Amino acid sequence: MNRLKDLREDKDLKQVDVAKQIGISQRGYSHYETGDNNIPINILIKLAYFYNTSIDYILGITNIKKPYERKKQL
């Protein structure tokens, strides 16, 4: 998923940094970023919060980075 890579690089982070923040291995994150593995919904939610964007943006459904209004934080 190129969007994940772009979001990560926009924050000047390495894969290992993001993986640690969301509680997975660097290798697992790498597979999500390249599209080799589908991203489970619980990880999508964590990524959306971490990157302050929407799941729709991460998945390429919208080009709007701004997240939707949220009711609660994880």
Query: What pLDDT does 2 receive?
Result: 86
| 48 close to 56: Cβ distance less than 8 angstroms | no
Quickly state the pLDDT bin for 67 (edges 50, 70, 90). Answer: confident
Interval 11-29 mean pLDDT:
97
Could you give the angle at the alpha carbon of 36 between the alpha carbons of 8 and 74, nearest 5°? 50
Question: Does 13 score more than 70 pLDDT?
Answer: yes
Residue 17 has pLDDT above 70, yes or no: yes
Question: Is the pLDDT reported for residue 15 higher than 90?
Answer: yes
The domain 2-59: what is its CATH number? 1.10.260.40
